[in-house]
Amino acid sequence: MRMSQKEKDRSHARIVASAARLFRERGLEGASVGEVMCDAGLTHGGFYKHFESKGALVETAIEEAFQGFVQMLADGDAQKSYAAYRALYLSEDHLKHPEIGCPIATLGQEVSRRPESLRAVFGAGVQRLVGAIARSMGGTVHARRKAAIRELSMMVGAMVIARASDDETASEVLSACRRSARHA
């Protein structure tokens, strides 16, 4: 039966939220259209009233994931130190909860093999994240941007390595990266 426009908007938001979570948990190919719709409390057939294809959902879900993650990092203090970002990013909590964590560390490699349009969306998300981290740094605009990129790269790499390895290697990598190279 037909739903009201307001109801449709709510369904749409639930689909995107479920996708943003399930894609990060299981991968773009690991979460099916049917599973996303079921998680959103709907049946699979209605999906194409909301998106042209699974690929279109992926784009929207990745934008949502970046927005949510940047907001989560910035939450609380208006101006966090980069040490605070690093502690959050490299925490056991983030290690164990990819579904609400950094989209780069969960989806980057699958995105690499997808069309340019998705990589553009992903790149925009990366820029937003770099901007958020750069705001916590000192130095000239140019220098803090470079520092933020290096900082983010190290955090992403550490999390990818930790999640893909045995527990012992994982905690060695996380703890080695928790302290800045400058203080090594």
Partner DNA sequence: TGTACATCAGTGAACGCGCGTTCACTGATGTAC
Q: Which residues bind a second copy (CB under 8 A)?
A: 26-27, 29-30, 98, 104-113, 116, 119-120, 122-123, 126-127, 143, 145-147, 149-150, 152-158, 160-161, 163-166, 168-170, 172-173, 176-177, 181-182, 184
CA nearest neighbour of 90 among 177, 184, 148, 167: 177
How many other C-beta atoms can be found within 10 angstroms of the C-beta atom of residue 44?
13
Smallest gap from residue 24 Cβ to DNA (A): 15
How many other C-beta atoms can be found within 10 angstroms of the C-beta atom of residue 134?
21
Report phi then psi at 138, rounded to 5.
-100, 180
Of these, 35, 39, 99, 110, which contacts DNA (CB under 7 A)? 35
Which option in a second copy, DNA, none does residue 8 bind, with CB closer than 5 to 8 A by kind? DNA
Smallest gap from residue 182 Cβ to a second copy (A): 7
- Which residues contact residue 153 at a Cβ distance below 8 angstroms, ignoring those fewer than 6 apart? none
Which option in a second copy, DNA, none does residue 68 bind, with CB closer than 5 to 8 A by kind? none
- Residue 139 CB burial class (10 angstroms; 0-12, 13-18, ≥19): exposed
Q: Is 55 in the site for DNA (CB under 7 A)?
A: yes
For DNA, the binding residues (CB under 7 A) are: 1-8, 11, 29, 32-35, 37, 42-50, 53-55
